Chain A
Amino acid sequence: MNPANVPAQSGGALASRGRPWATLPGATALGRLARMSNEAGHRAAHPEPVADPSPGEARHRWRNPGQLWRTALATCVVAVYTVMAPFGYALFMAWLMLPTRDPNRRGRRVQAIVRRAFGLMHDVLRWCGLLEFDHRSLRGRFPDGPFVIVANHPTLPDSSALFASVTDLCAVVRADLYRKAWLRPLVEGARHLEGGRGNPLDAARVVEAGVARLNDGFRLMMFPEGSRSPPGDLRPFRRSAFEIACRARVPVVPVVIRCRPVWISKEVPLLRPPAQRPVLTLDVLDPVDPADFGYDSRGMLQAIERRLRGLALDQDASIAPPRADGR
């Protein structure tokens, strides 16, 4: 099944799915904690606007039991990841160092594995009550064929959420990460792109590589702010994503990402989770055709930035449900 084509579902269905452990007799302490969390965080399943805590508020809530056990769980998740990840990377590296005649075909296989792994990770995070997100229940649908996703970037897991939700997805990876010896085989093997290195003309390389990926049938994800969004605001958008879409003549799909209360942002670290369970939502807006802007990336940027900014910063914004034709 292609998750990019899974029809949208209501948020209510999301809350009761994917937690078969909770009904098992003799559930573990972790499971009981998860259920306590779910009851305490009932609002998470029925999201209402929740003010993002300031770092000061987060400190005040340190003694809140909900935050304490979430911190313990987050620490466990990080510890498990730290222990297990090297094995996963080693397997990938061994595989990706083998020669291949078709790097795109292997890239799609790598992406499929990564997509399932991120989907599983979000299932575990949801089951633990650490982060409410289900990649099977997106609001809106992605189109068929190549496109460029542009989105705001309020939290780190939003990128893994997109990876879990979209097939054949490439991303632009920060140059310092891309060049790390332990990560490079994986990001290269998955056909990701290396970001700029501070040279004003790096955009030429990024744009060229992005257009090539789209011509090969991949989808491309870019955060035009270039970094995680500041609290309650968005950074100015950069033009590369729109230029790539214009040159490749593929649509841009804007995605509004919300994480309330915010967690793993620049200001709220991983090991300081909020007292309430954070809810991550992705609202997939209608594709925007660059032809409507005469393939002018500047005009396209302005229109999409205005729309995304308005929706992402509006605490009460509601996104229209998907249309009957599934778009």
Chain B
Amino acid sequence: MTDLNEGRLDLHRSRARLIAFSAAAAVVFAVLGARLFQLQILSGTAYADRALASRTVVEPIRAPRGLVFDREGRPLVVNVASWTVKARPADLPSARVDEVIGVVARITGVDARAMRARYRAFSGSPYDLVPLARGVSREAALLVGEQRAQLPGIVVEVDPVRRYLDDSAKQNGSLLSHLIGYTGAVSGDELQRLAAQGYLPDDVIGRDGVEASYESTLRGRYGSRLLERDASGRPVKVISTKTPAIPGKNLMLTVDARVQRLAEEALAWGMQAAKVKQGVTIVMNPQTGEILAMVSLPTYDNNKFATGIRATDYAAYLADPNRPLRNHAISDIYPPGSTFKLVTGLAALQEGVTTPERTWPTYGCYQIPGAAPGDCLFDWNHAGFGPLDMIQAFAVSSDTFFYQMAVHLGVDRLAKWANTLGFGAPTGIRLPGEAAGIVASTKWAQQQGRPSVYTGELAQAGIGQNVIAVTPLQLLNAYAAVANGGKLMRPMVVRGETDAAGTLIRPYAPEVLRTLAATSEHLQLMRVGARQVITTGHAYNIRDLALPGQLSGKTGTAEFGTPKPDGSLPFHSWFVAFLPSRAGAADAQLAVLTFTYSATVPGNVSTEVVKYFLQKYFALRQDLRLDPVTFARVGRSQN
């Protein structure tokens, strides 16, 4: 060993400090290594999971919406490709938004302000697409595509939209719009509620009819896939499909589009002939509750809604006093008039107020019990009919007979039977917007702030006036329950689910809501009464139709509103009928109701409409229609 300090300008070298320094260095590296081990091995899985979650997005896979067929397998709702102009905010410089949307507006003809508002209102990821204009023409879509260089952030996508067809597979959005409804863009409020169910910002949702009430069935279930994205949020590649999309189910309506067309034609003729502005025709199978046709006029074009309705079109619909957007068959309530005598009569028989054989005097004017002398209610026949039993009274529609029935029943027994027959509550048909109607009762009167219903009101309730209000569907369904032998059915519009070709693969079962606690004798008696309404000629010449059964039914006229200058009131006209094989039988397969709003003609428009419908439905060579104003024969029978 040589001299260690040779020539050294040395300070005292401390081995201890070197060791201390080295130890500190060793500790530093050991801590870092240990921390690395902890992060990567001990809790590596947790970090890796978190890392995966933070750099992936779950992207929805849209499920195609289910189609709709009629009961014969005719397609009524199909999905067609439509061009939608969308904007991706991430690629659209905010300084150029107005300018770019302006160009898009010029090309597509869509209001620039509306598009700008839609763009501004969007609050999702800047990589999401904001739909600006749906249902753009192919030419406009191509133009937008060509000018892509001048339109940063604008993309044209093909989206499916609903197309609504009629019985001849033509695009026709007015034949079935109240039944089928339409789809519309999901609103911000709805989105908050529905986002958990997979609804997307640019999604559609059923807005009316079956589109709304069978929304979850038609929609199917959206799937999702895992997309990897980079730090700026741009999707890079698909990692995996988490859940596949389940296409919406195809539905078959109970409705026969051809029958629907016949019903609409018949109703439109009658309304036009009588200058009536609103009307309803419903055709039903009373055994099952299946709706074969449901027409509410005026109607609207649901194809206008399929790509987002123009504000002017929508305003016009809203401004129309006849409210075309409403399904009058289920959403509006009217006094049922004499058709309600079925309820009063059945209740009186069941509650022992009368017997089938017992006759009651009838009057020109019925003195209200307990009221001042002379305070009486007129019969429509101011002469009165003399003594009548139930069948006779129903056949000639004696008002004073049923005043007496109602007064002897009392309001709550009448209400009980009205409720049993489905009045005062929605029928449960799976269509949105069904009204409950009004059935007078003590409780109802107390809710109005009075002890009970006045006797005069009660008497009038017995003939379906004043304190009784029903939807056309409720009335038809009550008649159907009597016609089928006592089962109150839930009216159904959807027959079941089909395959893609429209073949029924999963039928929905008809549902009996309740069995009426009425004897079959009494039910049969009411059916016989209904048959006699026709045979006695109370419904004019409809008895002369050569139908494959014994048409039974009831007319009704319900006065309402304010008297005209000549003292007459406008009235609603009803006709409800069913077709058993023989008088009194409970085997009717067809029940029809027509309601016309505010007629001022001498004839019963609704009877004429049903007559015309039956002629068409059974393809009769007869044409027995009477002009509702002049009572002259409209057409000529072909034989």
A binds B: no
Q: State the A residues within 8 Å of B (CB).
A: none
